[in-house]
Amino acid sequence: MLRFNLNGQPVEVDAPDDTPLLWVVRDHLKLKGSKFGCGMGLCGACSMLVDGQSTRTCILPAASVANKNVTTIEGIGNPELLSAVQQAWVDSSVPQCGYCQSGQIVSATALLTRNPNPSNRDIDNAMSGNICRCGTYPRIKAAIKQAASAIQNGQGKLQAVQYFEPTQSATEA
Amino acid sequence: MSTQVDISRRRFLQHATLTGGGLIVGIPLMGLTGHAHASGQGSLTPNAILQITPQNAVHFYLPRSEMGQGVHTGLTTLLAEELDIPPAKISVHLTGPHEDFANPEFGMQITGGSTSIKGHFVPLRQLAANTRLVIRQAAAKQLNTALESIQTQDGQVFVQGKAFTYGDFVDVASTLDFPEDAPLKPASDFKYIGKYNQRLDAQAKSTGSAQFGLDVDFAGLQKAALKQSPVFGGTVKSFDDSVAKTMPGVKAIVAIHNGVAVVAEHYYQAKNALAKVDVQWQLPETLSAFSTHSLDANNGMGLFENALKKEGDNGHDEGDANAIQQADKVISAQYWAPYLAHATMEPMNCTVKIENGKVDVWVGSQSPGMAKNIAALFADVSKDDVTVHSTYLGGGFGRRSASDFVAQATAIAKASKLPVQLIWSREDDTQHDLYRPAALARFDIGLNKDGTITDWHVKRVGPNIMPYMIDETVDAMAPGFMPNAMVDWLSKRGYGLFDGWIVDPSSIEGLFEDYDSPNKQVNHVTVDPGLPMGFWRSVGHSFSGFFKESMMDEVAADQKQDAVAYRLKHLKNNPRLAKVLNEAAKQSGWGKPLAQGHFHGVATHMSFGSFVAQVAEVSIENNNIKVHKVTCVVDCGTAVNPDVIKAQMEGGIIYGLTAALYGEITLKDGMVEQTNFHNYPMLRMNESPEFDVIVMNNNEAPTGVGEPGLPPIAAAVANAIFAATGKRLRSLPLKLA
C-alpha cells in the first residue's frame, strides 16, 4: 500500500511500487490536472511539487514519494481561490491550448518558493524543463515576474488553498 | 476571397427544449439546412447557438473547436458586441457536431485554415443583433412602451431609467417573430471588438480544471494502449499475447485494422502488457522500401531530385513562359524542407462507449462531424446513433482534423465490448502522425537590365495532402445508400486525382503570389512514398514561406540591393504586404547598427488572407544559431482581440522556429526514426526570443491569425544567417556545421 500526502491530505493507494506517480494521481486518485505528455520526463506536463521541488512524475516510481508531500495544480489554487502565479497567468492571458500550463505553474511556483525575485536567466533555468508547443514562453516569463512582484507587495500567496512547509516531510509534520 | 454568408431570409428562432429553457436561437451558419433544432429535455447536447434563460443566464454553444487559438474568446467577443452583454458574463460551452454548426468557410464542421473569425464575423454578430432587438421588442410589448425608449447597456435593459435583465423578457420574446436583419453597429461604436483582451478560458486552464480528451473518465472506463504497424498501411499477420494476457489488470487483447490493443483497468497496466505482445506484420512494399537517408538515386532525396527533372503539371500560368529566355540574367536555386510531425502536447486519444447500439465518443477534435461519421463506420451503426462530446484540444495545429485515433478507439471498444479510452504514447504520436509534406523546390528568377524581376518560375516536388484527406472524407461522408464498393472506389480516386490531373493548391500555395512579375510559371511534380500527409500549421505556406522569402533575399543580395527596398520595389500590387514590411523595418530599426555580432534578416508573406512581416535578430556562436528578438507586424483586417492576435503571432513564430532550427522527421525502411522530445526536440524557454508584435489597425474584414505568423520566420532567420556569415542555407532545419 502506497502512502503519501496529496495536497495536504494523507492518501493510500493500492498500486505496484513502480507505478509512475502521475498515473497513481490521475488513474487511482482521479485528479486530472497533471498531464501526460511524453512519459520520459522530457516535457514537464506531469510536474508536481514533491516536498516543494518541481518533479517529473511520469517517470517517478510512486514508492519514492512514500510519506512525502505531493502537491498538484489542484493543491496550488482553484478557480475560486487563485494563487498569485495563477492570477498572473490569467491576467497575462498566458494559456493557449492550456495542456502544459499545470506543469508550467508547478515549476513557476517551485521557482518562486526558493527565489522570490528571479532574473530572466533564473527563469530560463527553472522553466526550460517545461515544453509549451503553443509558444507561450514570453507570457510565462512576464507572468512569473508579475507574480513575484505581487507576492512581494503582499498580494496573493504561492499556494492559495492550503499551506505546508515544503521542506518538511509528511512524517515530520 | 472572403465568403460573406447571406444570412437574410433564414429561420433563426427555435423553441427547442434546452435545459433552462428561455430564449433559444440558432442559425445554420451555412444557411443550408432545413432541419429543426431538436434536443432532448434535460440534455446538454445543444444544437442552438445562443440561449438566454428566464434566470438571465446567457449560454453560448461554441460551434468551433478551441485548441489554443482563442475562438472561445474571439467568437464570444463577436456575440457580446451585438448582444451588448460583457463577454465574461456569457457562459461558453464546447459542443458536439451539428449540421448547423458547419464552418461557413468549408460547409463542414471543421476548425482550421485560420477561418473562425473570418467566417463568423458577420453571421454571429447578426444573430446577436437580432436577439438584442427581439429582447427590446419584447420589453416594449411587456411594458407597453415604445421600442425607442428601450436601451441596453452592459447586459441590462433600461426602460425610463429602470433596469431589467434580458431574462425578464425572454418568455415574451419567444412568442414574437424573430427579426432577420437588425442593423449592425458601425465599427466606431465597438465596445469589445478591437478592445477585449482577456482570454475567457485562462482561468480553467490555469487551475487544471479545463477538461481535455485525456481527462475524460467515468466508472467502468478501461484504458487501452495500441501497438500500430511500424510502417503506415501495414496490417497484423499474427500476434502472441500469451504472456501479456496473464498480466495484472488486463481485460482484453484485440487486433484491429492497423494494430493490436491491450485493454486494462489502468493505463500503465495496458502499456506494460503491450510491451509483451509480439506482433508479426504484413508491411506495405513501397513505403517499406523508402529511406530518407538513402544514397540510391531512386530512393530518399534521389526520388525528389529525379522528379525535379520532369516538367510536371502546371499549377499557375501568367504572362509568357518563354520570356525567361530573353531575361538579362536568371538566378536559380533549390530549396528543401523535410517531413514534420505536429507534436501536440496532448498525445492523440479518444474515449468510446458502445452500449445498446448507441455510441458515445469523447474527443478533442478539429472535425467533430468527421469523428462522428468515422465512429459510426467503425462501430457499424447509423450516424444518428453516435453522440460526440467535445473537449478542449491539447493542441491541434491541423493534427486533430484527422480522425485516425477515433477509428482505432471505436474499433477497440467494439472488439473488446468494453468502454475504452485509447491513449497514444508520445512515441505513437511522433511515429504515427499525418505529417507535413516534405518539399523540394527550384526557382528560376529572370531579371531585366534594371535588376527588376520579369520571370518567376518555380517547380515544387513532393507529396500532396488532399488525397489523404479525401480518403478519410469519402469513407466517412459518403451517403449511406452508396454501395461499399463504390465508396471504396471513390476513396482511392484521391491519389490519382492529384497525379497528373490537377495540382493540389496546398502543394504550391505561397510560392509565387506575393511579388510583382509579369511572367509567372508554377509547375508541380508529385512524389509520394506513401507516408500519410496532413494539415500542419500553415500547410503549404510552412515551406513555401521559407523558399520564396529566402529566394527573394538571394536575388536582392545578387543585385546588391537592400533586402527591404528590393522587396518593396516588387510589392506595387500588394500594398498591404508593403505596409507591414515598411512597418517591420521601422519598428526593428532595420539598417541601423545592432549589438556586436548581431544581424537582422527580414521576410514577409501573405497567407490565409493576412499579411505578416518579420525581422529576426540573430547571432552565431560556434555555429550555434541564437535568435534574440523577432519584430512582427501583422495586418489581419479588423483586429477583434488584439492580444489574442499577438499571442498567435508569438505562438506561430515559436512553432516555426522549432521547425526552422530542429524539425526533421526521417524514415528508415518506411519507419519514422524519431520517437520523443529527445530526438524530435522543441524550442524551450531558454531559446525563446524576445518579441515585439505590432497589430495594424484597420477596418478591413477580419482574416486569420492562427497560421500566418509561422511562414516568414524560417526565412527571416536564414536571411540573418546569410547577413552574418555569407552562407545561404537552403535546407531546413537550418544547420551551420
- From B356's Cα to the closest Cα of chain A, the distance in A is 27
| B599 half-sphere exposure, CB direction, 13 A CA radius | 19
> Could you give the 3-state DSSP secondary structure of residue B242?
coil
**What residue segments make up the domains of chain A, in order of their start?**
2-76, 84-152
Contacts of A40 (CB under 8 A, 6+ apart): A58, A59, B426, B676, B677, B678
Q: What are phi and psi of B21, to 5 degrees?
A: 60, -150
Contacts with A40 from chain B: Cβ below 8 Å: 426, 676-678
Q: According to the 3-state scheme, what is the secondary structure of A56-97?
A: CCCCCEHHHHCCCEEECHHHHCECCECCHHHHHHHHCCCCCC
pLDDT digits (tens, 9 = 90+) for B431-477: 999 999 999 999 999 999 999 999 999 999 999 998 888 777 766 66
Cβ burial of A59 (10 Å; 0-12, 13-18, 19+) is: middle
- Nearest to residue B707, comparing CAs of B540, B580, B538? B538
Average pLDDT for residues B626-648, to the nearest whole number? 97
The whole-number pLDDT of residue B33 equals: 34
Contacts with B203 from chain A: Cβ below 8 Å: 79, 82, 86, 90
Mean confidence (pLDDT) of chain B = 90
Asked whether residue A120 carries a pLDDT value surpassing 70, the answer given is yes
Would you give the distance in Å from CA B175 to the centre of its chain?
41
pLDDT band of B478, cuts 50, 70, 90 = low
Strand-pairing partners, residue B355, are B358
Degrees to nearest 5, angle at CA B671 with B667 and B676: 85
| Cβ–Cβ below 8 Å for B208 and A34 | yes
Is residue A98 left, alpha or beta, with left meaning phi > 0 and alpha meaning psi from -120 to 50?
left
| Closest alpha carbon within chain B to A134 | B651
| Cβ–Cβ below 8 Å for A97 and B206 | no
| Cβ–Cβ below 8 Å for A45 and B204 | no
pLDDT above 90 coverage of chain A, percent:
90
What's the topology of domain B213-284+348-423? Aldehyde Oxidoreductase; domain 4 (3.30.365)
Q: Quote the DSSP letter at residue B194.
A: T
Nearest CB neighbour to A93, from listed B197, B347, B677 = B197
Contacts with A86 from chain B: Cβ below 8 Å: 203, 206-207
A46, A99, A139: which to substitute to probe chain B, counting the most B Cβ within 10 Å?
A: A99
pLDDT digits (tens, 9 = 90+) for A95-112: 999 999 999 999 999 999
**Cα distance between residue B117 and residue B70, in whole Å:** 10
**Cα distance between residue B72 and residue B60, in whole Å:** 10
- Cell digits of residue B270: 495496458
3-state helix vs strand vs coil in chain B, percent to 5: 35, 25, 45
The whole-number pLDDT of residue B174 equals: 86
Strand-pairing partners, residue A91, are none
The reported pTM is 0.93
- From B250's Cα to the closest Cα of chain A, the distance in A is 14
| Closest alpha carbon within chain A to B688 | A137
**Cα distance between residue B268 and residue B247, in whole Å:** 11
Cβ contact B316:B521 at 8 Å: yes
Cβ contact B425:B270 at 8 Å: no
**Cα distance between residue B195 and residue B359, in whole Å:** 43
Contacts of B406 (CB under 8 A, 6+ apart): B350, B352, B361, B363, B365, B371, B374, B375, B378
| B412 half-sphere exposure, CB direction, 13 A CA radius | 35
Residue A99, CA distances (Å) to A75, B371, B679 in order:
17, 21, 22
The whole-number pLDDT of residue B697 equals: 84
Average pLDDT for residues B513-523, to the nearest whole number? 98
pLDDT band of A172, cuts 50, 70, 90 = very low
Calculate Rg over the CA atoms of chain B. Answer: 27
Contacts with A136 from chain B: Cβ below 8 Å: 647, 650-651
- Cell digits of residue B660: 526552422
The whole-number pLDDT of residue B8 equals: 30
Contacts of B652 (CB under 8 A, 6+ apart): A135, B537, B538, B706, B707, B708, B709, B710, B713
- From B457's Cα to the closest Cα of chain A, the distance in A is 35
| Cβ–Cβ below 8 Å for B206 and A125 | no
Average pLDDT for residues A56-81, to the nearest whole number? 96
Cβ contact B618:B717 at 8 Å: yes
Asked whether residue B27 carries a pLDDT value surpassing 90, the answer given is no
Asked whether residue B99 carries a pLDDT value surpassing 80, the answer given is no
pLDDT band of B104, cuts 50, 70, 90 = confident
- Nearest to residue A120, comparing CAs of A142, A101, A135? A142
**Cα distance between residue B334 and residue B316, in whole Å:** 19
Cβ contact A19:A66 at 8 Å: no
Contacts with B204 from chain A: Cβ below 8 Å: 79, 98
Least confident range from B126-135, B260-269, B481-490: namely B481-490
Contacts with B651 from chain A: Cβ below 8 Å: 96, 134-136
- Nearest to residue B217, comparing CAs of B405, B351, B391? B351
The whole-number pLDDT of residue B39 equals: 33
The whole-number pLDDT of residue B598 equals: 98
> Could you give the 3-state DSSP secondary structure of residue B467?
helix
B324 compared with B41, residue with greater pLDDT: B324
| Cβ–Cβ below 8 Å for B677 and A43 | yes
In the sheet with B519-526, reading across from the earlier edge strand, the strands are: B313-318, B519-526, B453-462, B439-447, B329-337
**CATH class label, B303-338+437-465+504-725:** alpha beta
pLDDT band of B9, cuts 50, 70, 90 = very low
Nearest CB neighbour to B425, from listed A27, A33, A39 = A39
As a dihedral over the C-alpha atoms of residue B345, residue B348, residue B354, residue B358, rounded to 10 degrees, the angle is 80
Asked whether residue B16 carries a pLDDT value surpassing 50, the answer given is no
The whole-number pLDDT of residue B4 equals: 32
The whole-number pLDDT of residue B452 equals: 98
Sign of CA dihedral B404, B407, B412, B418: positive
End-to-end distance of chain A based on CA atoms, in angstroms?
20
Mean confidence (pLDDT) of chain A = 93
**Cα distance between residue B376 and residue B685, in whole Å:** 43
| Cβ–Cβ below 8 Å for B207 and A100 | no
**Cα distance between residue B152 and residue B158, in whole Å:** 6
The whole-number pLDDT of residue B335 equals: 98
- Nearest to residue B526, comparing CAs of B502, B510, B491, B492? B502
Q: According to the 3-state scheme, what is the secondary structure of B292-312?
A: CCCCCCCCHHHHHHHHHCCCC
- Cell digits of residue B451: 535588376
**Cα distance between residue A123 and residue A144, in whole Å:** 8
The whole-number pLDDT of residue B475 equals: 65
Cβ contact B403:B409 at 8 Å: no
Contacts with B267 from chain A: Cβ below 8 Å: 23, 27, 36
Nearest CB neighbour to A133, from listed B199, B344, B392 = B344
pLDDT above 90 coverage of chain B, percent:
79
Q: Give chain B's length.
A: 737
pLDDT band of A92, cuts 50, 70, 90 = very high
B484 compared with B637, residue with greater pLDDT: B637
Cβ contact B538:B710 at 8 Å: yes
- Report the CATH architecture of A2-76: Roll (3.10)
**Residue B190: count of CB within 10 angstroms of its CB:** 16
b/e B13-29 (16+ beta carbons within 10 angstroms → b): bbebebeebbbbbbbbb
Give the DSSP per-residue string, B629-651: EEEEEEE-SS-SSHHHHHHHHHH
Interface predicted TM-score (ipTM): 0.94
The whole-number pLDDT of residue B10 equals: 31
Tell which CATH classification among 3.40.640.10, 3.30.365.10, 3.20.20.20, 3.40.50.620 matches the domain B23-206.
3.30.365.10
The whole-number pLDDT of residue B481 equals: 58
Q: What are phi and psi of A80, to 5 degrees?
A: -85, -25
Degrees to nearest 5, angle at CA B470 with B468 and B473: 110
What's the topology of domain A84-152? DNA polymerase; domain 1 (1.10.150)
